Structure 1
Amino acid sequence: MEVSGLKEPIKITISSTTTINTTLKPICVYLNTRTNDTSPKECDQTEYNQTHITCFSKHLTYFGVLLVSADLSPKDQEIISYITFIGCGISLFALVITVLLFIANRNLRGDDSKKIHINLTVALILLNIHFLSSQAVAATSSSELCFYVALLLHYSLLASFTWMVLEGFHLCLLLVKVFNIYVRRYLLKLSVVGWGLPAVIVSLVVIIDRNIYGRTPLIPSRPNETTICYITDNTVKMVTTVGLFSMVFLFNVSMFGVTVKWFVGSHFGKQHRHRDWNAVQREILTLLVLIVLLGLPWGLIFFALGPLPAPGLYAFCILNCLQGFFIFIYFVLYLKKSKDSAAAPSTATQSASIKT
């Protein structure tokens, strides 16, 4: 007799013959005999202690327990959660200050590169705002509000990735500027791509299935714990976010490699063999700035598709949550450099007049 669709889940308790530790955890699985699917599917819920594992299910079939690599320990998860929210809060504040600095400084507003940086800054502001509010909104009873937060979170993430690849594209043009490449209405076209492409992707997702945006577990293997408002379908999540970023990452890594090659070539060239240490420091700082602007630390996400050790997750959270803060530091250093450069001629003039 087939038993399915139970209103209350049944509990199946299985004794454990293997020691359960922090590196391995049990997961209840079942076989779908109706579709002759021999791949085990995870049950609705699993509870366990040192001696027994309890599986919760609303149907009956063949059940078993698999030992898989454990996720982060509760302590690591709590620490990373604090790092994430504190880092995103710091970045959000720093990014807002960066926008204000851009608005207040005429030299920044006249630089195409800085205009591209500020578009990335705005995208990251939207990303941090919706990410920080996502968990709180998911805890409310409003499904409509959760839908819009999930949609805007997805849009701002895609916009951030798009502006990262446009940073790489702009870098490509700068490296080949000797050919006098000119693009009519350059910034307008970049803005259409940077803000328009994510809007097209999000619109297609809504047209396909509006319910793709909603409440979803922060950690898929722990469905009964923290939830956020985001994409509920793993396939859509992989295609629209990981798929897009894969192309962004490959392009930007290649552009970064070309830049490193250019710097190395100029440093070891015949005319620059005696370059001073200050010039080398400036080049290293430039490369570090490019790593941030091109979003290369996000590449750690590829390791997250498999078992990523706790140190890797810590590095991913720290580097990416503070991306906005690093951009703010870059703008501050640029303004300081511009101020020092402007003051240098006047100082030289004063010295000349004193000697005279």
Structure 2
Amino acid sequence: MGPGKELLSLGLLYMVGICLSCDQGFSGRSPKCFDINECENISENCGNHTLCFNTNGSHYCQCQSGFTNRHRKVNFTAATGQCLDDNECLGSVNICGLGGNCSNQIGSYMCICQFGYTNSSGSCIDINECSQAEGKEDLCGEGTCKNINGSYRCVCQKGYTNYGNDRTPCSKLACDSFNAHSGPAPSLGGLADILFMMRNSCLALSNPSLSGEVKADGEALLEKLFTATDDILTPGHLDSSEDVSQLLGTVENAIMLIGPQLKHNRTKIETTETVDAEIAVQRGKTRPTGPVHLTNEHAALETDWTTAAGTGSYPGFAMAALLSYKNLEISVNQSFEDLTGRENDAMVLSSLNVSSKVVSVVVSNPSTQNLDRPVKITLRHLQDRKESREVEYICAYWSDRGTWSTDGCYHQLSNATHTVCTSEHLSSFAVLMALYPMKHPFGLKLVSTIGLTISLLCLILCILTFKFCRSIQGTRTTIHLHLCICLFMADLVFLAGISQTTPKGGCRFVAALLHYFFLGVFTWMLLEGVQLYRMVVLVFNATIRPLYLFLTGYGTPLAVVIIAGVIRPQGYGTDEHCWLSLEHGLIWSFFGPVCLIIIINVFFFIVTVWRLAQKFTSLNPDFSKLHKIKAFTVTAIAQMCILGLMWVFGAFMFEEGPIAVVYIFTILNSLQGALVFIMHCLLSKQVREEYAHFLSCICTPQKKRYSDFSSTNPSSSQSQGSRSGQHTGESQI
């Protein structure tokens, strides 16, 4: 076939293919072409938020309600635009109506109604609180409810007020409490002016007919009240308890009236002369909850809003106030006759004085005479005391009778600067201080002096015995010697300097010496326990080198005293005794090591007794040696019990306590030397024999002594040799 024919064939085939294919939007082959439904794939052909409409051979798209084509076209395809969300909140004014806030949504919007409105058919309408509140209590109290758009207001009748908060119940005002003519005439100069000012303010609050219902400014009224109080208290103290009661009652009533008028939730005010005050107020339809903490320079109050508001009808506000009078304590340093039923009443009443500022606590709760939960009041002392054990702090309130009373008012704790009180009712409070001087009776001083003198004499005999008695020399005797030296020095310093509190530097030195030597006594007692343990457990080399004994016996107490003196030097010496202060825990630099030593010794003694029991039951026990160790252990345990028991009572010696405890400590402390002499000297057979030999040398004539020594009696020589061997064996122990 030639080229011309080939071209003709290709052209014919092309024409046939065109005739057989369908137009765009159709499928199949001509002449049988079918329409394609593009709306079956709407996301691809129209996009999101659209409606698709199919046509013969084509389609078109429209946006759903709440959406608009980005090119503002009604009909479009995916190639000519997509649908965007309409912000209905911008396009329409007041779409939600009065009291509604429009919130745009995807493809729609939502109406959020303001307080006092409700949603109805997509728009906000006013709630008629007054009609809904029919039959409900405490909406307006004694007032009349009037509905307004989005809210309501309570209109109070004469004699009632809601303190400018229109949506709170109306409370009755006791304006007659500020009427000087309804009660006894105030004898206190300036009090009538306060009553007149507060009565006018009260009447203004309770009179709804005032033009514009203008109320007084709470802050300004509070300043006027305290200025007038300054004028009363500045000249000097008040003359009578009746004047004090009138002033305190008037100020408390005034705070009850002024508090709800204050603009801020917390108000602090301080005058230069007389009053510190902090007032907290909570407002709202619901009763507040949570803690309340009020503080000033002289006091602190801890309570809660449930107590401050009370459990009765809620007037729409709660208030708590703390007031401190800076110079009223001089005027109330009297009237203690109601403080009865206490031990040593005569001594207490004669020494009582007010030891803090007078503090008033005021709350909006109308029932403050029997609170569901007590309030806690912390009062600062007028003078800081380094030691408080000589005094008793009493929490008291100023009663309606114009006297101090403790009914329902309880003391919790005291330190050198503050006292914490709790009270089941509210009033004006203060801390009273009763002095308990620790003047020990003459008999106690006599017992202490005689006993310590005997103890010192016995300790001198112990020291001479342990030093010069050759038959008992050894490690244990060395320990006893230095234990007695420490105890002798401690008793000597105690006798001479425990009460010499002046000068202060000398008193501190005496306290440090007592601390050192008493610790030394217990340290040497610990070494005795260690030595007994070694004697039973170790068969050979049971002795302790003297260097180690001295380093431990004298170095350990010295280290403790130096550390304690560096950390808290002011704790050595008090106003009453040259001993360690009970404040700030310094006393534990003595009792801590003592308790530790006793615990360790108890362990050593238990092990020692257990091992002794095993040795006694062994096949070939050395009974003589074991009996001696047994005797040593018994005396060591007795010695530890005596010293330890003494300081159990000594823990209460330097603070107020039963006189029997003081006597027991004094007797035990005084007779320590005598008891050590009895246990370690008189009860020792070897020592008694040495004493007898020494006395025989003194009492026997010279010739007799010479004949005795020159005698060659075999039995005598044998006896002496036996005794010498016995001494040698014990000294080795």
Query: Which range, TM-score by smaller chain?
Result: 0.5 to 0.7
**C-alpha distance in 1 between matches for 2:327 and 2:667:** 44
The alpha-carbon distance between structure 1 residues 312 and 284, as it changes in their structure 2 partners (threshold 3 A), is farther
Unaligned segments of structure 2, at least 5 residues: 1-274, 276-323, 360-375, 382-387, 395-403, 407-415, 420-427, 694-708, 721-733
Tell me, yes or no, if the aligned pair for 1:249 and 1:299 is still in contact at 8 Å. no
1:349 counterpart residue number: 718
- Is structure 2 residue 536 aligned with structure 1 residue 167? no
Per the normalisation by structure 2, the TM-score is 0.36
1:336 counterpart residue number: 688
The alpha-carbon distance between structure 1 residues 64 and 4, as it changes in their structure 2 partners (threshold 3 A), is closer
Mapping 1:306-325, distance limit 5 Å: 314-325=663-674
SS in 1 for 2:498: helix
Which one of the candidate residues 640, 652, 661 is aligned to 1:294?
640
1:15 counterpart residue number: 338
**C-alpha distance in 2 between matches for 1:158 and 1:245:** 7
Question: Could you list the per-position Cα deviations for residues 185-242 of structure 1 after superposition, in whole angstroms to 9, with x for gaps in the alignment?
Answer: x2211211111111112112222243222234xxxxxxxxxx2212235344432111
1:153 deviation in Å? 1.4
The alpha-carbon distance between structure 1 residues 58 and 117, as it changes in their structure 2 partners (threshold 3 A), is closer
**C-alpha distance in 1 between matches for 2:461 and 2:329:** 53
1:350 deviation in Å? 6.9
1:93 deviation in Å? 1.4
Q: Which structure features the higher share of strand residues?
A: 2
SS in 1 for 2:573: strand
1:254 counterpart residue number: 603
Once the two structures are aligned, what percentage of the paired residues are identical?
24
SS in 2 for 1:215: coil
- Is structure 2 residue 458 aligned with structure 1 residue 94? yes
SS in 2 for 1:214: coil
| Between 320-329 and 148-157, the greater mean CA deviation after superposition | 320-329
**C-alpha distance in 2 between matches for 1:298 and 1:194:** 18
1:198 counterpart residue number: 557
Mapping 1:72-221, distance limit 5 Å: 79-108=443-472, 110-138=473-501, 141-178=502-539, 180=541, 186-216=545-575
2:76 counterpart residue number: none
Question: Could you list the per-position Cα deviations for residues 224-272 of structure 1 after superposition, in whole angstroms to 9, with x for gaps in the alignment?
Answer: xxx22122353444321111111011112223333444555566x4879
1:340 deviation in Å? 8.4
One-letter amino acid of the counterpart of residue 148, structure 1: F
1:132 deviation in Å? 0.6
The alpha-carbon distance between structure 1 residues 237 and 5, as it changes in their structure 2 partners (threshold 3 A), is farther
Unaligned segments of structure 1, at least 5 residues: 217-226, 352-356
| Between 311-320 and 120-129, the greater mean CA deviation after superposition | 311-320
Higher RCO structure (Cα 8 Å, ≥6 apart): 1
The alpha-carbon distance between structure 1 residues 45 and 238, as it changes in their structure 2 partners (threshold 3 A), is closer
Tell me, yes or no, if the aligned pair for 2:532 and 2:633 is still in contact at 8 Å. no
**C-alpha distance in 2 between matches for 1:291 and 1:213:** 31
The alpha-carbon distance between structure 1 residues 106 and 284, as it changes in their structure 2 partners (threshold 3 A), is closer
Q: Which has the larger radius of gyration?
A: 2
**C-alpha distance in 2 between matches for 1:155 and 1:327:** 20
One-letter amino acid of the counterpart of residue 92, structure 1: L
Per the normalisation by structure 1, the TM-score is 0.67
Tell me, yes or no, if the aligned pair for 1:7 and 1:58 is still in contact at 8 Å. no
Which one of the candidate residues 430, 448, 455 is aligned to 1:63?
430
The alpha-carbon distance between structure 1 residues 283 and 155, as it changes in their structure 2 partners (threshold 3 A), is closer
| Between 207-216 and 163-172, the greater mean CA deviation after superposition | 207-216
Q: Which structure features the higher share of helix residues?
A: 1
**C-alpha distance in 1 between matches for 2:475 and 2:333:** 63
Tell me, yes or no, if the aligned pair for 1:123 and 1:160 is still in contact at 8 Å. yes
Tell me, yes or no, if the aligned pair for 1:135 and 1:228 is still in contact at 8 Å. yes
SS in 1 for 2:343: coil
SS in 1 for 2:574: strand
1:175 deviation in Å? 1.9
